[in-house]
Amino acid sequence: MLGNLERARASCEADQAKSARDVSRVVCLAVTYDKLRRHADAETVVAKLKTSMGDVEAYQYATIYAQWGNTTKALEWLNTALRLRDSGLEGLKTDPLLDPLRNEPRFQAIERELKFPN
């Protein structure tokens, strides 16, 4: 989020070696690899997460696709997260990874459905 992509990549890769099942590290790698124009690597880490976790990480997939600029897939995964009552949705209102979606009517509808306090 600070813009030092090589440092972020190194940190994500080092942390992933310590805890390969840590979903936040996978998100970090997927977003960082994509911003470094290593989209094939980004796709690979997401595919591995999907294989091991299935739809359980729907909210996390939404954040990744939002950062990749794939609004359609991001919103599809948010709808899946909503259907599954994914606990990640508690961060929807403030998660900076979802900022690219905030002006989308479908995103706003999901936010209204969650009935966050003002």
CA dist 104 and 78 (Å) reads 12
Whole-prediction pTM: 0.85
CA dist 31 and 64 (Å) reads 6
CA dist 14 and 33 (Å) reads 14
CA dist 85 and 100 (Å) reads 22
Per-residue pLDDT of the chain (118 residues; tens, 9 = 90+): 556 676 766 667 665 545 545 788 888 889 989 989 999 999 999 999 899 889 999 999 999 999 999 999 999 999 999 999 999 999 999 999 999 999 999 999 999 999 988 7
Q: What residue segments make up the domains of the chain, in order of their start? A: 5-114
CATH architecture label of 5-114: Alpha Horseshoe (1.25)
CA dist 12 and 82 (Å) reads 28
